[in-house]
Amino acid sequence: MQGQTTKKAGTEKGETMEDKGAPPGMIETQLRAWAAELERLKAKAEKQLAEAKTDYYEHIEELRDDIEAQLKKWGKEIESLEPRPSAQEVVQEVRRKIQAELAALEPEIEALKSKAGKAEADAKKLISELKARRKVLKEKLSELKHASGGAWEDVKTGATRAWDELRPALQSAISKFK
């Protein structure tokens, strides 16, 4: 692309962007660096989301294991009782306790499910916002490629501002899913 004399907006015939003060290759280098940073941060956010989901499902499994262990324990207690009139009352009492504990655990399980669903929805929303910001940034970068020397500083400032707005959003997304 160096040495081409195609007319760009705001340049005189025969003049290239390099002639207007933009160092050769600087734009492409910056674009690649920004693209690499975006991909790295996106991968990090997706990894942390996957880890959060894994932690959630592991916690659910632990709760289920605890419930099953307690049920087995109570089952043995019930089986060891001799059938007599008062034993029947004991069995009913144990059943009530089991049902009460199961009922007490249900809201916790539902809360965990809700949290996981909300975290997933938040992550999807965040990824959508990041994609929109990335699109704006890509548009700014495209403007950088086609900017004349005089417009170079304005376009550079706009692209830098877009990146500066995207970076904290990415960092915020990552910190939410740690």
Helix (H) or strand (E) holding 152: helix 149-176
Q: How much is the pLDDT for 74? A: 85
Supply the DSSP symbol for 21: T
pLDDT at residue number 83: 59
**pTM exceeds 0.85 for this model:** no
Average pLDDT of the residues of the chain: 78
Question: Other C-beta atoms within 10 Å of 170: how many?
Answer: 21
Q: How far apart are CA 53 and CA 91, in angstroms?
A: 39
Cα gap 176→168, rounded to integer Å: 12
Q: What is the pLDDT of residue 36?
A: 92
Which of residues 13 and 140 earns the better pLDDT score? 140
Per DSSP, 19 falls in state G
Cβ contacts of 103 within 8 Å, gap of 6 or more: none
Instruction: Give tens-digit pLDDT for 93-115.
Output: 888 998 898 888 888 888 888 88
Name the token pair of 146.
Answer: 């086609």
